[in-house]
Amino acid sequence: MALIVSGIGVSRGIAIGNVHLLNRGSAPEVFERKLEEHEVASEVERFQGAVAEATNQLRGIRDTIPEDAPKDVASFIDSHILMVKDSMLRKVPIEIIQEQLCNAEWALKQQLDKVVSVFEQMEDAYLRTRINDVEHVINLIQQILKDQQFTVQMKSQPLKGSIIVADDLTPADTVVMQNQNIAGFITEQGGPLSHTAILARSLGIPAVVGIQRARSLLQQEEKIIIDGADGMVLAGIDENTIKKYRQKQREQKDARRKLNSLRNISAKTRDGQRISLQANIELAEDVNALKLSGADGVGLYRTEFLYIDRDVPADEAEQYSAYRKVVRTLKGKPLTIRTLDLGAEKEFDPDYQGPLTQNPALGLRAIRRSLKDTELFIQQLRAILRASAFGPVRILLPMITSYIELVQSLSLLDQAKRELKSEGYDYDPDILVGAMIEVPAAALSATIFAKQLDFFSIGTNDLIQYTLAIDRIDDQVNYLYDPLHPAVLKLIHLTLQAGRKAKIPVAMCGEMAGDPRYTRLLLGMGLREFSAHPSNLLEIKQIINRSKISELESPTKKILSTTVPAKIHPMVDALNE
């Protein structure tokens, strides 16, 4: 009997193969063991040995990555290596062992609990999922301490052509499996923003995540099909179904080969409308991926990585150096730097023991935090301004909800300019300033905001979850996350209209901008600047170059006038035919 199971499609493509069940197991169970004074030194040595072994394993995996692989493949493993080297994992557990006279496993667990509590306060969904990487690294060290090394054991298993079904996978697991030529993977946990999901997309591995009880529903060695675009898993399949999906596989491979020819071609609709395609980046090193995507610049540079996982945030000099590096690498292409967007008041302080806000989504985050800690904010503004002397830079203010926040932010920017001028620093005096439209209040106030700003950037990730009052990485309610909800589309449309009226550009930097399913709809709504992950840009460009805006406007108006979500989805599907 045929079985169709739905999950979250995180990496497009079709995989056909036999199930290989992997019991990765949860984190090793940890118990506290009290030490005698004379045991402390040997326990510290045991911990240091496990850390060294974890580093060696990760370096060994990194060495297997081909030189022509996408840059972010190696960067994910590098980030784990850096975590192992970080004092929060290398030094703090040793201090706990020495102070509490406890075993290494218990010290690591305490440190993990502490770090998790910090990350859970972050409202930014992308940043919150970074705790998965910390957990992966700590669990690797725990496995070595307990001699339960899953990734090492996996290297010896025959996985070629298999579809892996597991509870969860780390980026290191994913690289190991790619080297063994797996067909695809399914996990019970995870989401589209995890490093494993991003890595799967970079490596072109079809993947579906978030299928609870997948290891119970699917049997070892049974032939299944996964469709990473639709998030579908088909089991109990017949030969006709297999034949149909093999044909789809061939068509998709041909389409991917053709995409590379678009790298140096502009994004322009059939009726001559030039569209700007820019990239979202998190680290300075991510700029290298722009060359492969043919991006017009950086539409969103997240700066949070200069602040998290450290005792104190980066100072002005360190920020300036990071921003200048990106500006120079872009060689004249524009760079849009988003100011600090973190979600809780005490996330920089690893020793903070007091209460954190009960609801960080509605608390002190993004521009609110910057306006409370003006010294920190001006420091970042100064660094951005100084970098603007080396190329085109734009400032993007996150989570603006009221006119007074905007006025205060611009006033502090003027203060930073005056300081730099008096100190003799060069900067762009006419630097462009924009705001993220990511809460309903901002979309509804866009006409007012537009009078004070040079551009807008719609952050659909937050706009959708604030509008629909759901947490998109919460497994219990993420099924309600719908970019095509009439209320969401109305807010996007209002923002685009406000931009046109004020004659300022409106970009979109959320996931919706990087999803090919919505490209034609957004064109029909009037969006002319897309910013997405570099790996998505060529496909978006292909759709744009095959589209004619004059043919999209009428059906788009009908979609915007439709009030029933269930009716909108098939209308958008028809728009894409």
What amino acid positions are annotated as catalytic residues? Answer: 195, 509
Residues 350 and 328: beta-carbon distance below 8 Å: no
Residues 106 and 32: beta-carbon distance below 8 Å: yes
How would you write 411-475 as a 3-class SS string? HHHHHHHHHHHHHCCCCCCCCEEEEEECCHHHHHCHHHHCCCCCEEEECHHHHHHHHHCCCCCCC
Q: In whole angstroms, what is the distance from residue 302 CA to residue 94 CA?
A: 32
Calculate ∠ Cα 237-165-3, nearest 5°. 25
User: 494 CB contacts (<8 Å, ≥6 apart)?
Assistant: 443, 444, 446
Helix axes 195-203, 71-85, angle to 10 degrees: 150
Calculate ∠ Cα 376-378-380, nearest 5°. 70
Q: How many CB atoms lie within 10 A of CB 219?
A: 14
Q: In whole angstroms, what is the distance from residue 434 CA to residue 311 CA?
A: 30
Q: In whole angstroms, what is the distance from residue 473 CA to residue 489 CA?
A: 21
| Per-residue DSSP letter, 166 | E
* Residue from 413, 336, 17 nearest 183 by CA: 17
How far out from the chain centre does Cα 191 lie?
10
User: 537 CB contacts (<8 Å, ≥6 apart)?
Assistant: 277, 279, 293, 294, 295, 514, 530
Tell me the HSE value of 569 on the side-chain side, using a 13 A CA sphere. 5
Q: How far is CA 268 from CA 131, 273, 539, 548, 549, in A?
A: 39, 5, 13, 9, 10
As beta bridge partners, residue 301 has 281, 337
How far is the first Cα of the chain from the last one, in angstroms, to the nearest whole number? 31
* Residue from 53, 47, 51, 21 nearest 35 by CA: 47
As beta bridge partners, residue 457 has 436, 507
Residue for token pair 């919150």? 128
User: For residue 515, which amino acid is it?
Assistant: D
* Residue from 259, 258, 256, 238 nearest 16 by CA: 238
Residue for token pair 């557990």? 93
Q: SS3 for 312?
A: coil
**Is the sign of the CA dihedral 529, 333, 281, 344 positive or negative?**
negative
